[in-house]
């Protein structure tokens, strides 16, 4: 009897917490994101990266028109370091203002490249790893292409282009 008097309020509190947590709408969980269109931006070398890890590039001021509307992007990519061969990787944060939302997108090259490759141009697979705002609980994946153009002058920023097919 005494144990049930002590446990009853605790069970009620846990049950109330479960009801207070917002659930992901069923429509969001079953409605994949379609991402098509292009984003163009700028990049520069991340000087804090170590040689053995490969050259790192910071992508910023990316803007374009996609199937989500006017879209912004920023992220990080890099060349391959001291490895035999590997896929090129790009982490991209895609944002929209109307409707308000953000996607974290992981991009992986379709083919593997030898160690030391710059990874400045390739075809890729993408998938959403995190979605917030109006995209919360949604997922998506697809293919595309990525290109980085070197700066016209030493010390200047280069340009990047991402196309989601």
**Model pLDDT for residues 123-138, shown as the tens digit of each residue:** 999 999 999 999 999 9
Q: Which residues pair with 42 in a beta bridge?
A: 60, 159
Dist CA 54 CA 14 (whole Å) = 49
For the chain, list residues with pLDDT below 70: 1-30, 49-53
Max CA separation in the chain (angstroms):
81
Phi, psi (5° rounding) for residue 125?
Answer: -105, 145
- pTM of the full structure: 0.77
**Model pLDDT for residues 88-107, shown as the tens digit of each residue:** 999 999 999 888 999 999 99
């Amino acid at each position: 009897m005494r144990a049930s008097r002590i446990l009853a309020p605790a069970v009620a509190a846990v049950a109330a917490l479960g009801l207070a947590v917002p659930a992901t709408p069923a429509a969001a969980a079953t409605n994949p994101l379609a991402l098509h269109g292009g984003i163009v931006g700028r990049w520069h070398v991340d000087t804090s990266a170590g040689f053995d890890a490969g050259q790192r590039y910071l992508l910023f001021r990316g803007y374009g028109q996609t199937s989500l509307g006017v879209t912004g992007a920023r992220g990080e990519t890099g060349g391959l370091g001291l490895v035999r061969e590997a896929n090129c990787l790009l982490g991209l944060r895609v944002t929209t203002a109307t409707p308000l939302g953000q996607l974290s997108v992981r991009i992986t090259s379709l083919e593997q490249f030898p160690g030391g490759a710059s990874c400045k141009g390739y075809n890729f697979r993408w998938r959403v790893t995190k979605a917030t705002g109006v995209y919360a609980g949604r997922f998506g994946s697809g293919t595309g292409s990525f290109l980085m153009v070197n700066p016209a002058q030493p010390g200047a920023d280069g340009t990047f282009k991402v196309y989601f097919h």
